[in-house]
Amino acid sequence: MVPSLREIRLFVAVCEEQSFTAAAVREHATQSGVSQHIKNLEDRLGVRLLDRQEGVRPTPAGTAYYLRCL
């Protein structure tokens, strides 16, 4: 399944803001909604896109995907 434009916009926002909360504000969404969209995207792609250990940063796969989304 191809990611929706909404999922791509949310993923880009999370990468750029380095925060689910800030991405939610930027995209007029809820933090939990953004988190769920990203989890669904990761599940469908079968790869972890974001490292959530210390803040939110893209993994190497996430960086590659971010650049493709732009």
Q: Domains, the chain, ranges and CATH? A: 5-69 (1.10.10.10)
Task: Give the global pTM.
Answer: 0.93
CA angle 48, 39, 17 (to 5 degrees): 80
- Over residues 10-64, the pLDDT tens digits come to 999 999 999 999 999 999 999 999 999 999 999 999 999 999 988 899 999 999 9
Predicted pLDDT of residue 1: 73
What is the model's pLDDT at position 56? 95
Q: How far apart are CA 63 and CA 69, in angstroms?
A: 10
| pLDDT of the residue at 55 | 87
